[in-house]
Amino acid sequence: MLRGSDISRNVWSSLTFRVLGLMTLAMAPIGGMSIYQTSELTARTEERAAASLLSATVDAVTPEIAALERVIGAATAMSLLTVDIWNRHEACVLAFSRVSNAEASFHFAGVLTRDGALCVPDEISLSHSEMVTAAMTFENDAPFEYSQAVNETGDVETVIAQPVAGPDGVTHYVLIGARQNRFLETAARSDAARAEALITFSQSGAILNANAPAELAAAELPAGRDISELTSPRGYTLQGETQAGKARIYSVVPIHGDLIFALGSWTPENTAIPGAGTRMPPWFFPILTWLATLAILYIAVSRFVVRHVELLGQRMRRFARNRTMPLAETDPLTPSEFTEMNRNFLAMAEAILKDEAELEQVIHDKTLLVREVHHRVKNNLQLIASIMNMQIRKNRDSETGEVVKRLQDRVLGLAAIHRQMYQSQSLDRVPADALVEAVLDQTLRLDPGVEVHLERDLMPLNLVLDQAIPLALLSAEAAANALHHLGATDGGRPKLAVKLEPAGEEEARLRVSNTVAAEDASEEGLIEFPGQGLGAQLINAFARQLGAEAITRREDGLHHLEVTFRPNGLDHADVAGPGARDLAKGGGSGVVSAGA
């Protein structure tokens, strides 16, 4: 099972992630440039849209500007005329009567002195008190002052007061009142029709005119801000909300210096400003494009690359595990490169199977040949043993017959080894315990009438041939030597024990034990191993082949011969422990008598 760190490592090192990462790096400059260009384009578009709104606002109030300019021009001209006649009532009335008659839009025209005296034509119906109230609100040194007054019909009038100064300061005011009906007519114009409200106001925040009733016009002003805060020497636009919480785009332009301003209130839908009301960030579409590109690339890589690589990997693992031939690629959407890779893999798999079949046949033939060799060697050795047996029967010398009989036993022991090798399933590593058991069966043949208590305990042990054969021959010579010196200390039945057991984690021990005669039982401990006889020399030679040394000792009336060795290339599966094999196959303990 994969751990979290392994899964994370696999994800970061996967082909899909690396391709997406490289694509992200490749798209980063393009994305940055796109964001920059989008920002610049949005800014330029907003500037053009703002300029368009400002231009539309100026166009909408152009009649109002013209009317105000006429009023202002008339007030300026009359201020020069009244320098000499402002305190002469008849001359003043005559002059302003001409002005009122000359311009129908002027509701009244006259002079208001600092002490409250009024000089207006007789046809002017505006009351004296209303005129004084309208005029006295402009007592300062500004060149022009603007206010509103309501005439007797209830119409709103824009009142312009032009202060006229003398040697001792302002001596009087020239007053001109103009009707607003010209500005109201602009609401029908196409540009003005798109605006929710068009309002002109003074620097002090007084609303001079509007294209809607006063209540509706006031409701369109920005919420939370005084109208006097909107004045600016340059035109601009801003986004805000009305008193009712409706989104608006406001345009503010000066129409007469820094004294009179026009304000247009527009809905976001009626403006050309991109994202008005929503303000879509400039990085939104580049990021959306990047995500869409990565999604398409991920699908393409997964569908046309990763999927086919994983399928090919699965086929390779299945073939490596159980030699199952993969199916040919049949998907018509498979890229030609992967089709060619799959075709090459099929060819390689077929070649491997063919080579393996040939190798298996060669190994099988070789195994049969080696087994046949072991079989023929076994037959030849048995033939030699039979010839030696015939020679023993014809020989009259008992000593010579004993020597030949011992040689015959050794030859038969070799024949038993070759028979076991012929029957073995594998020639690489053979069961050493079976070989030892086979040669012991051949060696442990006693004289008639002699009974021996025999014990065998052979652990299963697989060895290479270079160790298995010397171990089997050593055990045969050791058993034969033990039988030669066999005795009983208490007059009972002699005892012989052969054990093959583990000696530590990586070593094994062969132990051959036998009882000794009473006269030899008194000697205890380690004793020198005799090396003059042929059997002793063979035991030492076989022990050296195992890389070990034969050690003998006596204790409790038993003579022990031990050889401890280290198996070559020992695997834990090669040793199952003592007693793991079914000892009914010649193992365990019992009584062996003549002919056993």
- Reported as a pLDDT band with limits 50, 70 and 90, residue 430 is confident
pLDDT tens-digit readout, 466-478? 888 889 889 888 8
Torsion angle (degrees, nearest 10) of CA 455, 461, 462, 463: -80
Whether pLDDT at 594 is above 70 = no
Cα 194 to Cα 49, 246, 271, 414, 565, distances in angstroms: 14, 16, 9, 119, 109
Query: What is the average per-residue pLDDT within 405-419?
Result: 82
pLDDT value of residue 10:
63
Is 490 within 8 Å of 538 (Cβ atoms)? Answer: no
Position with higher pLDDT, 151 vs 283: 283
**Residue 104 counted as domain residue:** yes
**Residue 32 counted as domain residue:** no
- Reported as a pLDDT band with limits 50, 70 and 90, residue 155 is low
Position with higher pLDDT, 554 vs 583: 554
Identify which of 186, 191, 208, 230 has the alpha carbon closest to the alpha carbon of residue 53. Answer: 191
Handedness of CA 295, 301, 302, 304 (dihedral sign): positive
* Burial degree of 364 (CB within 10 A; 0-12, 13-18, 19+): exposed
pLDDT value of residue 418:
82
- Reported as a pLDDT band with limits 50, 70 and 90, residue 527 is low
**Residue 280 counted as domain residue:** no
Whether pLDDT at 17 is above 60 = yes
Domain limit, last residue, from 152, 179, 206: 179
Give the separation between CA 424 and CA 187, rounded to whole angstroms.
115
pLDDT value of residue 424:
76
How many structural domains does the chain have?
2
CATH of the domain at 174: 3.30.450.20
Q: Which two tokens stand for residue 7?
A: 């899964």
Whether pLDDT at 328 is above 80 = no
The alpha-carbon radius of gyration of the chain (Å, integer) is: 63
**Residue 23 counted as domain residue:** no
- Reported as a pLDDT band with limits 50, 70 and 90, residue 511 is very high
CA atoms within 13 A on the CB side of 84: 3
Give the separation between CA 179 and CA 161, rounded to whole angstroms.
15
Report the mean per-residue pLDDT for the chain. Answer: 76
pLDDT value of residue 358:
92
pLDDT value of residue 573:
45
Secondary structure, 3-state, 52-80: HHHHHHHHHCHHHHHHHHHHHHHHHHHHH
pLDDT value of residue 50:
84
In the chain, the amino acid numbered 104 is A
Query: What is the average per-residue pLDDT within 113-130?
Result: 60
**Residue 438 counted as domain residue:** no
Position with higher pLDDT, 103 vs 588: 103
Position with higher pLDDT, 5 vs 462: 462
Is 265 within 8 Å of 195 (Cβ atoms)? Answer: yes
Domain limit, last residue, from 144, 179, 214: 179
pLDDT tens-digit readout, 165-196? 777 777 778 887 776 554 445 444 545 557 78
Q: Write down the pTM of the prediction.
A: 0.46
Q: Which two tokens stand for residue 415?
A: 């024949």
- Reported as a pLDDT band with limits 50, 70 and 90, residue 508 is very high
CA atoms within 13 A on the CB side of 569: 10
Whether pLDDT at 456 is above 70 = yes
Query: What is the average per-residue pLDDT within 442-471?
Result: 79
- Reported as a pLDDT band with limits 50, 70 and 90, residue 146 is low
Domain limit, last residue, from 125, 152, 179: 179
Helix (H) or strand (E) holding 456: strand 452-458
Full residue range of the structural domain in which residue 85 is found: 63-179
Angle at 541 between CA 540 and CA 544, to 5 degrees: 85
> Other C-beta atoms within 10 Å of 427: how many?
16
Whether pLDDT at 7 is above 70 = no
> Other C-beta atoms within 10 Å of 332: how many?
6
Give the separation between CA 509 and CA 432, rounded to whole angstroms.
12
CATH of the domain at 505: 3.30.565.10
Helix (H) or strand (E) holding 449: none
> Where is mean pLDDT largest: 152-156, 334-338, 519-523?
334-338
Where does 114-272 show beta strands of DSSP type E? 118-119, 145-150, 156-166, 169-179, 195-202, 207-210, 236-241, 247-256, 260-266
Cα 458 to Cα 151, 417, 431, distances in angstroms: 135, 16, 11
Tokens 């009359």 sit at which residue? 78
**Residue 542 counted as domain residue:** yes
Position with higher pLDDT, 474 vs 163: 474
Identify which of 508, 509, 511 has the alpha carbon closest to the alpha carbon of residue 572. Answer: 508
pLDDT tens-digit readout, 34-48? 778 878 887 888 888
- Reported as a pLDDT band with limits 50, 70 and 90, residue 510 is very high
Please state, for a pLDDT cut of 70, what percent of the chain lies above it. Answer: 76
> Where is mean pLDDT largest: 172-181, 425-434, 544-553?
544-553
**Residue 168 counted as domain residue:** yes
Cα 155 to Cα 99, 180, 205, 442, distances in angstroms: 21, 8, 20, 144
**Residue 359 counted as domain residue:** no
